[in-house]
Amino acid sequence: MELNLVLCALMFIVGVLCLLSGFPVAFTLAGVALIFAGLGYMLDVFALSFLTAFPQGVFGIMQNETLVAVPLFIFMGVMLERSKVAEELLDNMGRLFGRLPGGLAFSVCIVGALLAASTGIVGATVVTMGLLSLPTMLRRGYSIPLATGSIAASGTLGQIIPPSIVLVLLGDQLSVAFQNAQFEMGIFAPDTVSVNDVFAGALLPGLMLVGLYIAYQVLFVAVNPKGAPAIPQDEIEEMTGREFWAMMAHSLAAPVLLIIAVLGSILGGLASPTEAAGVGAIGATLLAGYRLDEKHSTPILAGALCMIGLLLVTSIFDLRIQRDVIPTGDLIAIIAAVVMTLGLAYGILTAFARVFVARTPEGDRILASVAQATMVVTSMVFVIIIGARMFTVVFIGFEGDDFIKEFLQDLPGGTLSAVLVVMLVMFVMGFFLDFLEIVFIVVPIVAPVLLQLPMPDESTMSPVWLGVMMAVNLQTSFLTPPFGFALFYLRGVAPPEVKTTDIYKGIIPFVIIQLFALILLWFLPEVATWLPLALYGR
């Protein structure tokens, strides 16, 4: 038993050291696990029969319909990045809030939230806002730490505000962990938790973070008004009220409608995350085609209206045609759905034709570059999932899950101590590892244990609440030096006068806000559990 514990600890330590040395994540996880499996076999403490669970797990991953949402959401985010939605949003939000002290910082937070709810890709958001907003903020005399911290923190909102790749992957892992926890407790007709539940649970905490960011910016402006000055009135372009609101509607309408279509269909129970991701991918393509040639926008607008109409008709009428008797109302709805499908297909083909021909500033065809980026990111995610599966199988073969269970259950302070230790471990790992490694290494091991522990009111722990706590914690992995990816993205596009130490100083208040949000969620779990309970009754 002691040898198993030593091998478990060594496997974990060697895996982390290999990751820090720069080896590819997926091959590191799988390779280290195989090496220690062989070592354990030679020492007669590991049965190779455990490895037969690995191919079964891989087939399970490939057949998991929920994970199909991953490439679709990635495609949606990359396509929206190419359609210059962020640029127009930032420009117009700057005009709207620029008259206020700290207005540019407020606009960065609001645009970050909108982009998070429509793209969910941290790198693209941070880079875009860093290229467009940071030079403007510096030219206007903004404090460098405030400017860099606001951009980096706002760019990471795509981790917690749905639709988020992190929430899709985390929700899938928690679904399995929740069932395993209930089996361990002798419940053989287990309740379920889905990605829809996690999306609903994360929405209010995500908006709470946006509010906390803006509250900090307001406090900063009150204490140091010279660090976030307003844009002088004579430098703001004069517009009539009608012109201004037309401009705002042009920049806001498309992303807001896309957010409503994707999130509304998920939270309203009209579509699964995978189906909603398909709606988002098509909506992003229509938007990109529209932006490329707005003067000839009739086919695109007709396609978008048909897509919205199909969502409404599907939610109201029964469109099954394999019935002996079809009521007149349903028959009319079926004919209307066929017509709208043809209109949507025409709009999609028009949009695809435009993005196929058009080129990026670098000279690449937009559609080709989007498809390539989607393939690269999706391949990375799924190879990491497979490598992490091997790591988990070997860890369980060494009875590592039993060690973790005994350790967490025996901690003084009960559930609070166990959750605190897990959150602290994830927070520290976030200094060195990407969120994907943390999700697929830590969550399958600790979540089944935590979900069996009683809460202070003697109820069982909510998997949605635990998932939101983990998601907020994982968001800090993008902000914490030395390996915070948002910091790297921003450093890569920041002007020369911005030092790396300025970026590190800027994110410190926002990391503190993240930790404060975790404390609030501990004492007010209803922030995460109220909406899923209201929508789905669980």
What residue ranges do the domains of the chain occupy? Answer: 83-179+187-237+429-437+454-538, 254-358
Are 348 and 282 in contact, with CB atoms under 8 Å apart? yes
Amino acid at the residue 83: S
Closest among 416, 440, 418, 417 to 429, alpha carbons compared:
440
The Cα 306–Cα 350 span in angstroms is 14
Confidence of residue 449 (pLDDT cuts 50, 70, 90): confident
Asked if omega into 163 is within 30° of 0 (cis), the reply is: yes
Contact 425, 65 (CB under 8 A): no
- pLDDT tens-digit map of 74-126: 888 788 777 777 677 777 777 777 677 888 888 888 888 887 777 666 666 77
What is the model's pLDDT at position 212? 94
Cβ distance 476 to 427 under 8 Å?
A: yes
Name the 3-class secondary structure at 97: helix
Tens-place pLDDT, residues 394-435: 888 887 777 777 777 777 777 788 888 888 888 877 776 667
Contact status, residue 430 vs residue 477, Cβ threshold 8 Å: yes
Give pLDDT, residue 358: 85
State the Cα torsion 189-191-196-202 to the nearest 10°: -160
Burial of 32 (0-12, 13-18, 19+ CB in 10 A): buried
The phi and psi torsions of 481 (rounded to 5 degrees) equal -70, 160
Distance CA 439, CA 402 (A): 19
Which pLDDT does position 399 carry in this prediction? 79
Residue for token digits 């991918």? 281
pLDDT tens for 478-502 read 787 766 777 777 877 788 888 888 8
pLDDT of 512? 92
User: What is the tens place of the pLDDT at every residue in 217-231?
Assistant: 999 999 988 888 877
Total count of residues recorded for the chain: 538
pTM of the predicted protein model: 0.81
Residues 6+ apart with CB under 8 A from 213: 109, 150, 153, 154, 510, 513
Q: How far apart are CA 355 and CA 366, in angstroms?
A: 5
205 pLDDT exceeds 70?
Answer: yes
Q: What is the mean pLDDT of residues 373-399?
A: 83
The pLDDT value given to residue 346? 93
pLDDT band at residue 340 using 50, 70 and 90 as cut-offs: very high
Average pLDDT, the chain: 82
- Check residues 505 and 430 and name the one with the higher pLDDT: 505
Beta-bridged to residue 454, according to DSSP, are: 460
Q: In terms of Cα–Cα distance, which of 388, 402, 459, 446 is closest to 420?
A: 446
Q: What is the widest separation between alpha-carbon atoms in the chain? A: 80
Name the H helices within 185-297.
195-223, 241-267, 273-292
Reported confidence tier of residue 156, pLDDT bands at 50, 70, 90? confident
| pLDDT value of residue 483 | 63
* pLDDT, position 90: 73
